[in-house]
Amino acid sequence: MSSAQLLDLCSLVRSKNAGPFELTFDFVCHDEAGYRELRDSELLTPALFANLFALNENQVGFHAHDAALAIKVTIPRPVVQGSLDDADCYGGQQYALVLDALDRGRS
């Protein structure tokens, strides 16, 4: 599945801060059929996020929310929010790494 296919299933794909030490990613689907397709595809996995952000899989919080038709992933921020090395203070651009990885056929 490519990022275009993911975006066809989702009404919202975003990343953002979950406090100064964590990032969260939200994948909210248009409908139940799309959500089930995404959830069951194993496209989004803890291994994918661990690979992309140089983490151990046990550092990746991964939650499929059936009632919300959403998948939520939480990881430690690569650097503390607002530090001199922080190139994305709000965490709003990190989802692009996931989309790029999907287009490359998983990282």
Per-residue pLDDT of the chain (107 residues; tens, 9 = 90+): 677 788 999 999 999 999 999 999 999 999 999 999 999 998 999 999 999 999 999 999 999 999 999 999 999 998 999 999 999 999 999 999 999 998 887 54
- Cα separation, 47 vs 55, whole angstroms: 9
Closest to 107 in 3D by CA, of 24, 59, 43: 43
Looking at the whole model, is its pTM more than 0.85?
Answer: yes
Residue 50 CB contacts under 8 Å (≥ 6 apart), including other chains: 56, 57, 59, 60
Helix (H) or strand (E) holding 38: helix 32-41
Tell me the three state secondary structure of residue 1. Answer: coil
- Cα separation, 97 vs 107, whole angstroms: 10
CB 80 within 8 A of CB 74: no
Residue 79 CB contacts under 8 Å (≥ 6 apart), including other chains: 85, 86
CB 75 within 8 A of CB 49: yes
The reported pLDDT for the residue numbered 85 is: 93
